């Protein structure tokens, strides 16, 4: 039996009568980069947010690193320490400097002392190309810089899995490249990643597997070249026609 | 942030000690001490003299009786209506306030033997067209809450076709007639005669009617020992001539002219004169207002922050509790809440609540509910993504709240806090209804004596503005410190 990093079985999520996820089975292997694509409202962001329980699943199981986080008995805070997340709108802590943003969780959660955390933060900023921004306030950064800080912040906890929720959707076009570059580096270093994105170029180039979702179901999945060049389902074809021809 | 916390704790400590230190005088008496409520303004029966000491027929009488019978009295000048409620609630042992003995009142009070007889007369502004009851048709008449004058006016208003407007204090009632808002007022003849002679500026146009007897009163069935002592003492005073002396002191011709001379001699009707004359009373009123404000703000802030935080924790019961508390105490008028806590709760539980404590509880609940609402709102208005990002890193709710959300929320709340502190300071004035001798109540009492409504209220208004200015500057100073 292969040990999966992420193993989702029959996941359902509804808000009242609105069924957003209608029975998802979804696996991610170690070191694998999975890109979730699909029209808006298909449930891909909800699926991603269920993976660290920012959304409470209605039913089904979500096993991360062998631990079922959908169980009430699971300490979700502990589990989240190993699951990094990057948000569409960055969500940098506005009341702290860039450095403090990155240092907060490792120090508060007793992973490192302050000096080690500071050193770590500086190194992370260097890897995302922002070594001069340690003392800057988030408000003074551009969108692309903010998102790179957000990635560094998530990496500071040294997670096993990174979740990306449309990380480039809120960026000006000229900023997108820098952020994708950082993500590609991460993938190259063997990080297990689940990425919700509309960047089809990134999906083609970096993804080990592409998952197409529509109407709360996984419609089709496979290697990028299979899904993009030879889609099996009508729904996938029409979606790809729309995105790629634009 | 940390420094501020230490400051606040220190302040809390001082307040506690001070509140404790305020009470012991009540306990030390070897002789039995009775608490007696009275009106703030009902000369010649009860009023504050130029030294702001309570004097008048009722005051001298109760003190003479106490001396005769060997007990002590603590006088609470809280207004006629509040006195009635305080007796019924058991907050005070008895009341003496020129109170007419009526069958209606006998249902809830036990009265002493009468100590004075008086009738109701009508007074109008000099030069008024109103000369008889018939002239009142279609007009408005001012009366004082719960008095026999009010009962009389209400009993004949249908017959003569006038409306009534009700005041809590005699001077407000007189002022309403003097300004022409009301055409006339009804009041006991002894009171009005005294007022007219001492320059009240009204004239009496009817003969005394509905003659009634004044009595000292206790709650029905309670404090019978006190009632017996009063009756016994009153009889003794009548026998030895003290009673006649007291009556003569306040209604004799000499007494009245003396008072006028004293007033003129003091030159007390300029702003400066009024300030000089009432310096000590005003200062103690200001001190009481400041204490109420500081202690009130402190407890309301703590209570409000707790209520606000309960409103945002991910727990339905806590949220429901928070919402309910805010709904109830923000929905209740402060005056209702104050009367409920001071008069309502003790009549149910049978324990007295000191006025100051009742006042602080009132402010804590009411201002705290407002603070809770904007604390909750402030936290909720911090972008939800901040909490999500913090939680996604593995920070538990409490840490995420403390390190990320609260620091941002507090910034949004600071203007609301300053605003609420100013409102709290102003709201202390409402606590005059439960007889706390703060600035407004002090003003009422002084005006009851010197009838200088315009100048005195102007002085009081300026004092409030000064205090609010100081409070605002202090708050801004704290705000600046918090930003660093």
CA A90 to CA B389: how far, in whole Å?
A: 8
Report chain B residues touching chain A, CB-CB < 8 A. 383, 385-386, 388-396, 399, 403-404, 407-408, 411
Determine the pLDDT at residue B243.
92
- B265: pLDDT strictly greater than 60: no
Residues B289-295: what's their mean pLDDT? 95
Contact B392 A52 (CB under 8 A): yes
Instruction: Using CB atoms, pick whichever of B395, B403, B408 lies closest to residue A94.
Output: B408
CA B141 to CA B183: how far, in whole Å?
A: 6
Residues on chain B touching A54 (C-beta within 8 angstroms)? 388, 391-392
Residue position matching structure tokens 């208004």: B461
**Tens of each residue's pLDDT in chain A, 246 residues:** 457 899 999 999 999 899 999 999 999 999 999 999 999 889 999 999 999 999 999 999 999 988 999 999 999 999 999 999 999 999 999 999 999 999 999 999 999 999 999 999 999 999 999 999 999 999 999 999 999 999 999 999 999 999 999 999 999 988 899 999 999 999 999 999 999 999 999 999 999 999 999 999 999 999 999 999 999 999 999 999 888 765
Could you give the ipTM of this predicted complex?
A: 0.93
Q: How many residues can be counted in chain B? A: 484
Instruction: Using CB atoms, pick whichever of A77, A104, A157 lies closest to residue B396.
Output: A77
Q: Are B113 and B231 in contact (CB under 8 A)?
A: yes
Q: How far is CA B223 from CA B36, B88, B229, in A?
A: 12, 12, 10
Instruction: Using CB atoms, pick whichever of A80, A89, A95 lies closest to residue B394.
Output: A80
The CA distance from B400 to the nearest CA of chain A, in Å, is: 9
Residue B254 banded pLDDT, cuts 50, 70, 90: low
Residue B196 banded pLDDT, cuts 50, 70, 90: confident
Q: What angle do CA A172, A177, A179 make, to 5 degrees?
A: 90
Determine the pLDDT at residue A191.
95
Contact B393 A153 (CB under 8 A): yes
Interface test with chain A among B379, B381, B394, by most A beta carbons within 10 Å: B394
Contact A89 B396 (CB under 8 A): no
Contact B393 A154 (CB under 8 A): yes
Q: Read off the tokens for B61.
A: 């009488």
Residues on chain A touching B379 (C-beta within 8 angstroms)? none
Pairs across A and B, CB distance < 8 A = 63
CA A12 to CA B166: how far, in whole Å?
A: 67
Q: How far is CA B357 from CA A107, B94, B342, B361, B410, in A?
A: 45, 21, 9, 6, 29
**Dihedral class, residue A16 (left if φ above 0, else alpha if ψ from -120 to 50, else beta):** left
For helices A98-108 and A114-127, what crossing angle results, to 10°? 130
Determine the pLDDT at residue B7.
61
Residue B283 banded pLDDT, cuts 50, 70, 90: very high
Determine the pLDDT at residue B15.
59
Contact B386 A91 (CB under 8 A): yes
Residue B27 banded pLDDT, cuts 50, 70, 90: very low
Q: Are A196 and A166 in contact (CB under 8 A)?
A: yes
Pairing assessment for the beta strands B72-77 and B33-38 based on DSSP bridges: parallel
What average pLDDT does chain B have?
Answer: 86
Determine the pLDDT at residue B190.
84
Q: Are B171 and B213 in contact (CB under 8 A)?
A: no
- pLDDT digit string, tens, across residues B223-244: 999 999 999 999 999 999 999 9
Residue B419, SS3?
helix
């Amino acid at each position: 039996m292969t040990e999966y990093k992420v193993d989702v079985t029959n996941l359902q999520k509804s808000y009242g009568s609105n069924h957003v996820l209608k029975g998802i089975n979804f696996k991610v292997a170690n070191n694998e980069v999975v890109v979730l694509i699909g029209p808006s409202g298909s449930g891909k962001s909800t699926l991603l947010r269920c993976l660290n329980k920012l959304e409470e699943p209605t039913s089904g199981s979500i096993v991360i690193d062998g631990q079922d986080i959908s169980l009430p008995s699971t300490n979700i805070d502990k589990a989240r320490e190993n699951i990094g997340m990057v948000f569409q709108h960055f969500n940098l802590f506005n009341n702290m400097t860039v450095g403090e943003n990155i240092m907060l969780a490792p120090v508060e959660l007793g992973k490192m002392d302050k000096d080690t955390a500071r050193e770590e933060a500086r190194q992370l900023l260097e890897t995302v190309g922002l070594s001069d921004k340690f003392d800057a306030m988030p408000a003074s950064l551009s969108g692309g810089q903010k998102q790179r800080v957000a990635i560094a912040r998530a990496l500071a906890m040294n997670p096993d899995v990174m979740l990306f929720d449309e990380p480039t959707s809120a960026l000006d076009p000229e900023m997108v490249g820098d952020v994708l570059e950082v993500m590609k580096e991460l993938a190259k270093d063997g990080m297990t990643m689940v990425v919700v994105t509309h960047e089809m170029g990134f999906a083609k180039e970096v993804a080990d597997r592409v998952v197409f979702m529509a109407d709360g179901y996984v419609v089709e999945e496979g290697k990028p070249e299979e899904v993009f060049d030879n889609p099996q389902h009508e729904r996938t074809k029409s979606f790809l026609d729309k995105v790629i021809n634009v | 942030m940390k420094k501020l916390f230490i400051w606040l704790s220190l302040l809390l400590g001082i307040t506690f000690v001070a509140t404790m230190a305020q009470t012991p005088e009540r306990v030390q008496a070897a002789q039995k001490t009775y608490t007696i409520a009275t009106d703030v303004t009902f000369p010649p029966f009860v009023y504050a003299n130029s030294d702001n000491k309570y004097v008048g027929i009722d005051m001298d009488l109760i003190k003479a009786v106490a001396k005769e019978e060997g007990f002590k009295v603590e006088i609470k000048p809280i207004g006629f209506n509040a006195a009635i409620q305080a007796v019924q609630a058991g907050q005070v042992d008895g009341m003496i306030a020129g109170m007419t003995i009526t069958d209606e009142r006998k249902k809830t009070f036990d009265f002493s033997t009468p100590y004075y007889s008086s009738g109701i007369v009508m007074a109008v502004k000099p030069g008024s067209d109103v000369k008889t009851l018939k002239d009142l048709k279609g007009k408005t008449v001012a009366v004082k809450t719960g008095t026999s004058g009010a009962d009389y006016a209400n009993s004949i208003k249908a017959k003569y076709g006038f409306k009534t407007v009700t005041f809590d204090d005699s001077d407000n009632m007189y002022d309403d007639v003097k300004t022409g808002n009301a055409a006339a007022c009804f009041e006991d003849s002894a009171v009005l005669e005294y007022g007219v002679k001492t320059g009240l500026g009204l004239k009496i146009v009817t003969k005394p009617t509905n003659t009634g007897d004044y009595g000292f009163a206790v709650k029905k069935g309670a404090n019978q020992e006190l009632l017996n002592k009063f009756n016994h003492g009153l009889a003794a005073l009548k026998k030895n001539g003290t009673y006649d002396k007291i009556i003569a002191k306040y209604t004799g011709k000499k007494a009245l002219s003396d008072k006028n001379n004293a007033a003129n001699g003091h030159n007390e009707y300029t702003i400066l004169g009024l300030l000089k004359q009432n310096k000590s009373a005003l200062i103690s009123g200001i001190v009481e207002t400041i204490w109420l404000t500081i202690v009130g703000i402190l407890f309301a802030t703590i209570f409000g922050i707790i209520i606000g935080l309960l409103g945002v924790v991910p727990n339905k019961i806590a949220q429901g509790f928070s919402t309910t508390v805010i709904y109830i105490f923000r929905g209740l008028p402060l005056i209702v809440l104050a009367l409920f806590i001071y008069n309502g709760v003790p009549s149910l539980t049978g324990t007295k609540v000191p006025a100051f404590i009742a006042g602080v509880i009132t402010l804590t609940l009411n201002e705290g509910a407002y603070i809770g609402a904007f604390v909750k709102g402030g936290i909720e208005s911090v972008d939800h993504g901040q909490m999500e990002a913090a939680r996604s890193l593995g920070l538990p709710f409490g840490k995420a709240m403390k390190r990320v959300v609260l620091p941002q929320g507090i910034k949004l709340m600071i203007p609301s806090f300053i605003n609420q502190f100013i409102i709290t300071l102003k709201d202390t004035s409402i606590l005059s209804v439960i007889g706390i001798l703060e600035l407004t109540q002090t003003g009422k009492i002084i005006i009851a004596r010197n009838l200088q409504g315009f100048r005195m209220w102007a002085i009081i208004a300026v004092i409030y503005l000064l205090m609010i200015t100081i409070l605002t500057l202090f708050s801004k100073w704290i705000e600046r410190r918090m930003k660093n």
